[in-house]
Amino acid sequence: MESAAARPRPVLTAGSVLPQDAARAALVARVHHPQWDGPCVAAVRGDQVVDLTAIAPTVSDLMERDDAATVVREADGGHAWYLDDLLKAPNGRRDVPHLLAPIDLQVIKAAGVTFARSLVERVIEERTGGDPAQAARVRARVKQVVGSALDGIRPGSPEADKTKELLVSEGLWSQYLEVGIGPDPEVFTKAPVLSAVGTGTDIGVLGDSVWNNPEPEVVLVVDSRGRIRGATLGNDVNLRDIEGRSALLLSRAKDNNASCAIGPFVRLLDDDFDLDTVRGLDIDLRVDGTDGYVLHGSSSMREISRDVLDLVAATHGPHHQYPDGFVLFTGTLFAPTEDRQAPGAGFTHEYGDTVRISSPRLGALVNTVTTSEQATPWTFGVRALMRSLAQRGVL
């Protein structure tokens, strides 16, 4: 396979990644600055991206400020880049400015099995032991028994308990159904701090995975006090064959080099973009293969089983604190079942796929699929960030 740096990247422009109402939005970006060999916290203002690092050294610091949206819109900044120039930067090059994932010190968490349709697909993965050839047969059996029993069900409710009893009697109870309709959601650590990739870069799938798919999700940005301060888009890459063999392989299935994409920007909450707006977001997915293959999909936050505040409360509280804040993938409705490579095998990625996750109010996160082994290695960690900020005198 050719190297990640050698493959052509999708052609991105400001117009293709910005929200439709970008002029009204408070948008936070991060930019790699070659002069400091490190990131800058930045504000997106029209076609320019303005350095705010002297005011907020990290995005985590910015999220702690009650006036964060005002700072992003109005504060005097330092260096400015044209957004189009940042989007044209070659992949994997540290000698040119480019966009990064718009978060830094926040812990990267994810909530799983938060939509009924994807819940059924998790049960299918478990029942097939991660074998895609068995998916169609098991899917028919599960849907025959479950039917519409999960539609509109409130997790942890008496109705959920009755559904559980039905499924147990049919021999179809599953650990995924437990977290899907039981009282406690699944919340796990998706990736290490600073390991997420941004828009325009490669996203990694383990080389030995033969059944996998993108997971387009809304990602909440939460401060140290548990307040939701903004939202962005994410791709929580799903290796169905590996997790399907055993849920105890979740870390191997989810946490690999370049397997977590977040971006393009964090949109801060304000009067024009509040929590109710987040609850109503629609997310579109498009996968374009190098062979002309196209997959369309969608997910809607209106169909989520647990409210976003409930997911945050399950993550942060007296039981667990996050002094630098956290981001939370909220799950996805999208679970592709159409065949791509062979009848009955369902969808799986091929290398070179372009994955575009978009929402009118959040913009577009665009990545190209490669293996985690071939993706640009993750080398910039917390020590490197502290050194870079210290050199600039902003700590």
Whole-number Å distance between alpha carbons of 263 and 203: 13
Integer CA distances (angstroms), 321 to 138, 225, 268, 324, in order: 40, 8, 22, 9
CB distance 303 to 333 below 8 Å: yes
| HSE of 54, CA atoms in CB hemisphere, 13 A | 7
List CB contacts of 282: < 8 A, sequence separation 6 or more. 298, 299, 300, 301, 302, 359, 360
Whole-number Å distance between alpha carbons of 312 and 104: 19
Of 91, 6, 4, residue with least CA distance to 373: 4
pLDDT tens, residue by residue, 170-229? 777 778 788 888 889 999 999 999 999 999 999 999 999 998 999 999 999 999 999 999
Whole-number Å distance between alpha carbons of 215 and 35: 35
Whole-number Å distance between alpha carbons of 87 and 102: 14
Whole-number Å distance between alpha carbons of 135 and 86: 42
In eight-state DSSP terms, residue 66 is T
Whole-number Å distance between alpha carbons of 209 and 195: 21
Type and span of the H or E element at 340: none
pLDDT tens, residue by residue, 304-330? 999 999 999 999 999 999 999 999 999
In eight-state DSSP terms, residue 303 is G
Whole-number Å distance between alpha carbons of 56 and 389: 11
Whole-number Å distance between alpha carbons of 213 and 162: 32
| HSE of 394, CA atoms in CB hemisphere, 13 A | 21
Token couple for 117: 């349709």
Bridge partners (DSSP) listed for residue 329: 110, 219
Integer CA distances (angstroms), 207 to 137, 259, 316, 372, 373, in order: 27, 12, 34, 7, 7
Whole-number Å distance between alpha carbons of 176 and 157: 17
In eight-state DSSP terms, residue 210 is S
Token couple for 113: 């099995």
For 156: left if phi > 0, alpha if psi spans -120 to 50, otherwise beta; the answer is left
Of 59, 327, 39, 365, residue with least CA distance to 203: 365
Of 51, 109, 380, residue with least CA distance to 226: 109
Token couple for 61: 């610091």
Integer CA distances (angstroms), 193 to 108, 120, 328, 393, in order: 6, 31, 13, 23
- Per-residue pLDDT tens, the chain, 395 aa: give them: 344 444 566 789 999 999 999 999 999 999 999 999 999 999 999 999 999 999 999 999 999 999 999 999 999 999 999 999 999 998 878 899 999 999 999 999 999 888 866 677 777 777 777 777 777 777 777 777 666 667 677 888 888 888 778 777 877 777 878 888 888 999 999 999 999 999 999 999 999 999 899 999 999 999 999 999 999 999 999 998 998 898 899 999 999 999 999 999 999 999 999 999 999 999 999 999 999 999 999 999 999 999 999 999 999 999 999 999 999 999 998 878 788 887 777 789 999 999 999 999 999 999 999 999 999 999 999 999 999 999 999 98
